[in-house]
Amino acid sequence: MTSKQARSRVTELGILPIDKPGGMTSHDVVARVRKTLGIKKVGHAGTLDPLATGVLVVCLGRATRLSDYLMGQRKRYVTRVRLGVETNTLDADGEVTARSQVLPDGIESIEAAAKQFRGTIRQVPPMYSARKVSGKRLHELARAGKVVEREARDVEVDSLDILDYTPPFLDLDVRCSKGTYIRSLAADLGRALRCGGSVETLRRTEIGRIQVDQCVGLDHLTASSVSPALLDPYEALSDLQECRLTDEEINRFAHGNEVSVSSEPTDACRVTDEAAAFWGIGKVGPDGRLHPVCVLREQETVRETHPA
């Protein structure tokens, strides 16, 4: 097998965790991976701001169909907040809009304020974000000098731990749900402390069970080295429950047919065969029927392996 053929096989359905460097957009990373690996079908699961570093899950080939499920997993961040400074982007890349010299005396007052930002909270997305309003991305409107009303949404902050406070810098470790903006969290906490705040640095350390120490740096990524860095889609989606099918049931699933299962109702589950091979994503309804949502294996392969 040639190196080109080997690369084609590993990138046909690949999940590649990248340690995104600062100063690049998530789309910049995708373009770099596409060029380095010489493949067209590349996407990412979960945007990181240009200022941010850390875990960016890049999907290759048919794995791009899994991006929504990867994005839905819990995330963890380590951030440094500069108290006493507010900016238009809510981070250090923006223009300063307000300053305060009155900062919290110690961690006790910060901890008291932080309590209201744990659990399910209401959060307004930043103007400088990829969220859409009336079909337009907020950051496009913001750069045009427009500020529009944004609807507050429920997000979940599983934990908000204070790592260090050396004025004016406050270091936090945050575990949260999809859709949580750390910049908004920092700004809201700053307002609660009556001094304002903005993100100085931000690093995503986990998505689901994918940790930053599993990621490869862009400078070390080559076409010949990509294979060891790829993650098993089954493991990468470990937050989803598993639904194991018999060979006959797998054949039906792979051809787009529903299957009766004993699993609990769920919007998304990992579908595997008796050998624990991953076949795709299904949805289990209240009636106990598994509906194929995303089938990743070719039907021709199914016919050869599990003839009807």
Q: Which active-site residues does the annotation give? A: 49
Burial class (CB within 10 angstroms; exposed 0-12, middle 13-18, buried 19+) of 32:
middle
Q: Which long-range contacts (CB under 8 A, 24 or more apart) does 28-33 make?
A: 29/56, 29/58, 29/218, 30/58, 32/218, 32/221, 33/58, 33/60, 33/218, 33/221
Write out the DSSP string of 26-68: HHHHHHHHHHHHT-S-EEEES---TT-EEEEEEEEEGGGGGHH
Separation CA 147–CA 120 (nearest Å):
26
3-class secondary structure, 292: strand
